[in-house]
């Protein structure tokens, strides 16, 4: 097998393990998928009440749908049924797996990541520690543009290898669905290259990927204004993206100094016309009117939101825009945390994601981020668990078949070597799942 250029020895090891699992997956997919019975579950978190109501807001502890001393039956890759007490007889040919009194919960969903890039920005992290400002770092050639230069220079095979290695790390933390953004190409050809890499990754990884074109991440050096790049992206890039079905969604970084709401309109209008769904980086450093813009365009989510206005939050609620909070960025970059209560009290659904990227947040451990959100964004325990499962599925509009262990849902789930969901939330992401299943197949 060709050796890919990877970012470090541990990535190579993880990538090798992942590629072995792909081979396993392809073999299994060629045959009929056996049924599965998971027995001896100490605590089963189903989230069935949310799935039944198709609701990700107003989350309360009863919504966890907990079943103690449980079993779980999988048929044709879907949840067939679950219950408590003695397990039913093992169907002929079915796989039996013992959860050893552990916690079984829905697979985690990371609904905001930037995993396709080349190069390292660790020097910028140290420049920040030395007291340099964001502006000084950008002037020294750092920031998104530094990742852009390295990513433009990288070939598709290397980018694919590195992206798969990163997805493999997510899988080890129990992440079974991932939203993945382009955004370090910042030219028509380079953005197309990154989206092709993400589509190729989607075919190879066992995880479900939602692919997002983040062309409006920064203004590329070839353009004199944000509006001119937004226009080129709208007129030349998005039609090609739609023609080749390279992305499911588009995204834009609407922020003072990047793209104003008005700059983004030509791009968002084009996306809507082409049938691409919308998500937005909104109101992270200042109130830029983006929460309202997200509502106006019917975005599925608005993400970051530290400085969203009350009227913007109300508009998000009315338009069913999910608030995606990214506390890892606050931890790693030293910016304020978003207060989840403002969104929850207004009736918005709240999801939490890693924002994994090479500059402002290198955290790829979603369970750790869930605990961080509970602590610093002020989420209650049930809200924090739902934020990385059912609400994250809702943010990606996957909630009719993912994000809960409800009859008819994809059998994406984890076995955790701990007794309860309280143990999981208090653990700060230290323990890895002992089993990870996607669509009824075991990958860890
Ligand atoms: Zn982001």
What integer is the mean pLDDT of 252-265? 93
Residue 11 has pLDDT above 90, yes or no: no
Orientation angle between helical segments 188-204 and 156-172, nearest 10 degrees: 50
Domain layout of the chain by residue ranges: 36-107+403-442, 108-395
- Mean residue pLDDT across the chain: 93
Ligand 1 centre and the CA of 418: distance in Å? 32
Token pair belonging to 427 = 């653990």
Could you tell me which residue, 31 or 231, shows the higher pLDDT? Answer: 231
**Beta bridge pairs of residue 325:** 352
Per-residue pLDDT, 31: 59
CA distances from 435 to 36, 44, 430 (A): 13, 14, 15
Token pair belonging to 207 = 């995880």
**Greatest Cα-to-Cα distance within the chain, rounded to the nearest angstrom:** 68
Ligand 1 centre and the CA of 242: distance in Å? 22
Ligand 1 centre and the CA of 406: distance in Å? 30
Ligand 1 centre and the CA of 392: distance in Å? 15
Eight-class DSSP state of 91: P
Residue 29 banded pLDDT, cuts 50, 70, 90 = low
3-class SS of residue 113 = strand
**Beta bridge pairs of residue 45:** 66
Residue 366 has pLDDT above 90, yes or no: yes
Eight-class DSSP state of 86: S
Ligand 1 centre and the CA of 281: distance in Å? 6
What integer is the mean pLDDT of 249-272? 95
Per-residue pLDDT, 108: 98
Indicate the burial class of 256 (C-beta count within 10 angstroms; 0-12, 13-18, 19 or more).
Answer: exposed
Nearest to 185 by CA among 149, 161, 158: 149
What integer is the mean pLDDT of 220-245? 97
Ligand 1 centre and the CA of 102: distance in Å? 34
Ligand 1 centre and the CA of 355: distance in Å? 5
- Cα–Cα distance measured from residue 105 to residue 369, given in angstroms and rounded to the nearest whole number: 17
Nearest to 101 by CA among 423, 406, 429: 423
Per-residue pLDDT, 14: 47
Residue 140 has pLDDT above 90, yes or no: no
3-class SS of residue 442 = strand
Ligand 1 centre and the CA of 282: distance in Å? 10
Residue 42 banded pLDDT, cuts 50, 70, 90 = very high
- Cα–Cα distance measured from residue 259 to residue 389, given in angstroms and rounded to the nearest whole number: 31
Eight-class DSSP state of 399: T
Per-residue pLDDT, 30: 47
**How much of the chain exceeds pLDDT 70, in percent?**
93
Nearest to 202 by CA among 253, 167, 249: 167
Ligand 1 centre and the CA of 138: distance in Å? 18
Give, in words, the CATH class of 108-395.
alpha beta
What integer is the mean pLDDT of 68-94? 96
Ligand 1 centre and the CA of 77: distance in Å? 32
**Beta bridge pairs of residue 179:** 210
CB count within 10 Å of CB 417 equals: 15
Could you tell me which residue, 122 or 135, shows the higher pLDDT? Answer: 122
> How do strand 36-45 and strand 103-106 relate by DSSP bridges?
parallel
Ligand 1 centre and the CA of 322: distance in Å? 15
pTM of the model: 0.93
CA distances from 402 to 50, 73, 88 (A): 12, 16, 25
> How do strand 249-254 and strand 36-45 relate by DSSP bridges?
unpaired
3-class SS of residue 199 = helix
What integer is the mean pLDDT of 116-122? 95
Indicate the burial class of 152 (C-beta count within 10 angstroms; 0-12, 13-18, 19 or more).
Answer: middle
Eight-class DSSP state of 259: B
Residue 257 banded pLDDT, cuts 50, 70, 90 = confident
**How much of the chain exceeds pLDDT 90, in percent?**
88
Q: What is the pLDDT of residues 369-407, one digit of tens each?
A: 999 999 999 999 999 999 999 999 999 999 999 999 999
* Length, in residues, of the chain: 444
Instruction: Tell me, rounded to whole angstroms, the distance of Cα 148 from its chain centroid.
Output: 21
- Asked if 300 and 321 touch (Cβ cutoff 8 Å), the reply is yes
Beta strands per DSSP E along 255-354: 277-282, 301-304, 322-325, 350-352
* Architecture, CATH, for domain 36-107+403-442: Roll (2.30)
- Asked if 246 and 190 touch (Cβ cutoff 8 Å), the reply is no
What integer is the mean pLDDT of 291-307? 98
Ligand 1 centre and the CA of 179: distance in Å? 11
Ligand 1 centre and the CA of 113: distance in Å? 6
Q: What is the pLDDT of residues 336-354, one digit of tens each?
A: 999 999 999 999 999 999 9
φ/ψ (deg, to 5) at 160: -65, -45
Could you tell me which residue, 257 or 314, shows the higher pLDDT? Answer: 314
Token pair belonging to 156 = 């598709």
Ligand 1 centre and the CA of 13: distance in Å? 27
What integer is the mean pLDDT of 231-246? 98
Ligand 1 centre and the CA of 252: distance in Å? 9
CA distances from 273 to 235, 242, 268, 269 (A): 12, 10, 9, 6
Residue 227 has pLDDT above 70, yes or no: yes
Per-residue pLDDT, 137: 87
What integer is the mean pLDDT of 81-103? 95
Residue 18 banded pLDDT, cuts 50, 70, 90 = low
Q: What is the pLDDT of residues 183-198, one digit of tens each?
A: 999 999 999 999 999 9
Ligand 1 centre and the CA of 189: distance in Å? 21
Ligand 1 centre and the CA of 214: distance in Å? 9
Nearest to 194 by CA among 219, 165, 163: 163
Ligand 1 centre and the CA of 263: distance in Å? 19
What integer is the mean pLDDT of 250-277? 96
Q: What is the pLDDT of residues 197-211, one digit of tens each?
A: 999 999 999 999 999
């Amino acid at each position: 097998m060709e050796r890919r250029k990877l970012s470090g020895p541990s990535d190579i090891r993880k990538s090798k393990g992942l590629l072995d699992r792909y081979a396993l997956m392809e073999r299994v997919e060629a045959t009929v998928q056996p049924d599965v019975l998971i027995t001896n579950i100490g605590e089963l978190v189903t989230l069935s009440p949310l799935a039944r109501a198709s609701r990700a807001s107003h989350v309360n502890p009863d919504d966890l749908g907990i079943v103690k001393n449980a079993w779980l039956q999988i048929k044709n890759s879907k949840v067939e049924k679950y219950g408590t007490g003695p397990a039913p007889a093992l169907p002929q040919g079915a796989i039996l797996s013992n959860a050893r009194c552990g916690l079984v919960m829905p697979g985690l969903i990371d609904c905001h990541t930037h995993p396709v890039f080349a190069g390292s920005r660790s020097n910028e992290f140290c420049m920040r520690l030395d007291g340099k400002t964001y502006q000084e770092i950008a002037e020294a050639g750092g920031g998104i543009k530094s990742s852009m230069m390295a990513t433009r220079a990288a070939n598709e095979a290397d980018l694919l290898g590195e992206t798969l290695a990163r997805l493999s790390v997510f899988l080890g933390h129990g992440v079974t669905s991932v939203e993945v953004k382009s955004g370090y190409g910042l030219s028509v050809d380079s953005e197309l290259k990154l989206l092709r890499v993400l589509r190729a990754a989607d075919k190879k990884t066992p995880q479900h990927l939602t692919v997002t074109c983040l062309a409006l991440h920064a203004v590329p050096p070839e353009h004199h204004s944000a509006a001119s790049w937004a226009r080129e992206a709208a007129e030349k890039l998005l039609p090609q993206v739609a023609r080749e079905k390279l992305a499911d969604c588009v995204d834009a970084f609407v922020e003072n100094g990047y793209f104003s709401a008005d700059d983004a309109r030509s791009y968002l209008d084009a996306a809507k016309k082409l049938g691409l769904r919308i998500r937005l980086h909104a109101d992270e450093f200042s109130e830029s009117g983006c929460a309202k813009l997200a509502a106006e365009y019917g975005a599925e989510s608005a993400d970051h939101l530290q400085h969203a206005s009350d009227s913007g939050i109300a508009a998000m609620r009315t338009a069913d825009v999910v608030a995606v909070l990214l506390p890892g960025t606050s931890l790693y970059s030293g910016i304020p945390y978003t207060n989840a209560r403002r969104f929850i009290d207004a009736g918005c659904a709240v999801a939490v994601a890693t924002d994994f990227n090479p500059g402002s947040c290198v955290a790829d451990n979603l369970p750790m981020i869930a605990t961080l959100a509970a602590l610093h964004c002020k989420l209650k325990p049930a809200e924090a668990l739902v934020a990385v499962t059912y609400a994250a599925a809702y943010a990606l509009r996957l909630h009719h078949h993912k994000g809960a262990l409800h009859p008819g849902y994809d059998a994406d789930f984890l076995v955790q070597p701990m007794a309860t969901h309280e143990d999981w939330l208090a653990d700060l992401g230290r323990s890895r799942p002992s089993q990870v299943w996607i669509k009824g197949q075991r990958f860890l």
